[in-house]
Chains A and B, each alone.
Chain A
């Protein structure tokens, strides 16, 4: 494996919090030589989980925190968790709103949501690494 095998980063949940977290995820995976198309897909799925957390986790106006945890596991798997201290609401439950969980489930190998004490969206992705140049 190249570079670190874990990433943990957090932000105050605001509208513009998702972008730096997505960038951190993409940079981490790129450094680990994860296949670029796979990085695109994982960032897409995790971006939905982050957006959901930011949009709904702190509807009561609190300044909450969201945390992104990533662990690259062998062979070729990535474990990602998006954690907040608020209430999970599926966007699909809201009229006319997004497709977040559908997109996550289309990309991830497995998805589970733990709502005991905040919300943790736990995702496992296939994350094949590119072969280093000879």
Chain B
């Protein structure tokens, strides 16, 4: 019997800008064998486009390894940043954790 697919969670918080780029590059790396990953950005109070570049790189890395990724975005500033950058369709974005996990469970199954 195969084990149930696992969902990894990467949680980020606070203000994500240029000053935290190195930290973001370190955190947004595929380390473990997860079938899918939730990037929980619900506690991010501010983000600039540094985070978008890192998320795009992370998404591309994950796609190469067939790992599904979803973003949990609940704050207006980050939600609008993504829209202003024209990236609304570039990610699987959810504002509800349960919905994001359901998506990832199905994607991993």
Are the CB atoms of B17 and A51 closer together than 8 Å?
yes
Chain A interface, DSSP helix/strand/loop, else mixed: helix
Return chain A residues, CB-CB under 8 Å to B81.
44, 103
Which of B49-57, B65-73, B94-102 lies on the face that meets chain A?
Answer: B49-57
A→B interface (CB under 8 Å): 15-16, 18-19, 22, 37, 40-41, 43-44, 47-48, 51, 54-55, 91, 96-100, 102-103, 106-107
B→A interface (CB under 8 Å): 15, 17-19, 21, 46, 48-50, 52-53, 56-57, 76-77, 80-81, 84-87
Are the CB atoms of B48 and A96 closer together than 8 Å?
no
Set B19, B56, B84: member contacting A19, Cβ < 8 A: B19
- In the complex, what distance in Å separates the CA atom of A97 from the CA atom of B48? 12
- In the complex, what distance in Å separates the CA atom of A97 from the CA atom of B95? 26
- In the complex, what distance in Å separates the CA atom of A107 from the CA atom of B77? 12
- In the complex, what distance in Å separates the CA atom of A19 from the CA atom of B50? 14
Q: How far is the CB of B108 from chain A (nearest CB, A)?
A: 28
Q: A18-B17, A18-B18, A102-B85 are in contact. Are A51 and B80 (CB under 8 A)?
A: no
Are the CB atoms of A96 and B56 closer together than 8 Å?
yes
Q: List 5 A-B contacts (CB under 8 A).
A: A15-B18, A18-B18, A102-B85, A103-B84, A106-B84
Please count the residue pairs between chain A and chain B whose beta carbons lie under 8 angstroms apart in the complex. 65
Are the CB atoms of A43 and B52 closer together than 8 Å?
no
Return chain A residues, CB-CB under 8 Å to B85.
99, 102-103, 106
Are the CB atoms of B50 and A99 closer together than 8 Å?
no
Nearest 8 pairs of A and B residues by beta carbon: A98-B49, A99-B85, A106-B84, A16-B19, A15-B19, A103-B84, A99-B49, A51-B18
Are the CB atoms of B17 and A19 closer together than 8 Å?
yes
Are the CB atoms of B77 and A44 closer together than 8 Å?
yes
Are the CB atoms of A100 and B49 closer together than 8 Å?
yes
